[in-house]
Amino acid sequence: MTGTIVDVPGVLVGHAQNEETLTGCSVIMLEKPSVCGVDVRGSAPGTRETDLLDPVNLVSVVHAICLSGGSAYGLDAATGLMQYLEEHGIGLDVGYGVVPIVPAAVLFDLAVGDYRVRPDRQMGYAAAQAASREKVAQGNVGAGTGATVGKLNGFGNAMKSGLGTASVILPNGLVIGAIVAVNAVGHVVNPQSGTIIAGPRDEQGTIRDSMEILRQQAFAPIPPGTNTTIAVVASNAHLSKAEANKVAQMAHDGLARTIRPIHTMYDGDTIFAVATGEVEASVDLVGALSADVLAEAVIQAVKHAEEAGGLPSYRRYFQE
């Protein structure tokens, strides 16, 4: 066990990023086509192929998922991932070659680094080439390279966040993993201790409670174009497409436990749920544990983040 999403059999992860311009993408590749669902809770999403995951629609499996920075521009990274899969003969056989099914979601990181450089087809291809079963790198990597949190006191008083992942295994062989790029407008709290571990800072550098700022400035708008948390939860459970969508829905509880506020009008919070089909398990169990694992992945995203773009990270304030 690596404690990361690749503990789920058949799941591989690859990152590619530009550390100078602070953006990147992450790909979650599947060794065999797997059932997938999605749940979008934020009101400003940037997504690709999410309609396909509706249980009433035809295709029931996907071949990979792409998480990317770059706002809507970053959706181009999924094209590079598709190219890699096609070159390896992976995709839906349509009688005229294959069509890889690659859902994607993006976050807005244009406010850090160089907004003119976004994840593109080449970066998506590079992330696919890097995909492996090795322990997943966390922090300022992949889709988390330009991720930030705590923006309700102005972006200059935000904190650096990143990408995190976690996993759990049960005695019956059920494995559940999560990977998340945390780019929230609000703060991140450790639900076990109640401690805010990253959030908006005041002029003295003290971390503030986002909800207190909202209460004090009831009509202050949430900064547009700075937000969105995107994630994948995966398991080796045998689920239907409808059940996978339910798991994605339940997994949002993991975000609600750790990020405040969440699912705002200026967020595009999106969770994909993948099931590779080896172990019989109830949808309630998989959904409940997915929320737990995703909450832990959010905490890891903050703890592994490093200072960048002039913004401090968790490590400036807390010593492990």
Measured distance CA(311)–CA(82) in Å, rounded: 34
Q: What is the pLDDT of residues 272-308, one digit of tens each?
A: 999 999 999 999 999 999 999 999 999 999 999 999 9
d(CA 153, CA 197): 16
- H-assigned helices in the chain: 77-87, 121-130, 210-216, 241-258, 283-304, 314-317
Which tokens is 183 given? 């780019």
pLDDT in tens, 99-139: 999 999 999 999 999 999 999 999 999 999 999 999 999 99
Pull the structure tokens for residue 135.
């322990």
Q: What is the pTM of this model?
A: 0.95
Rounded CA Rg of the chain: 18
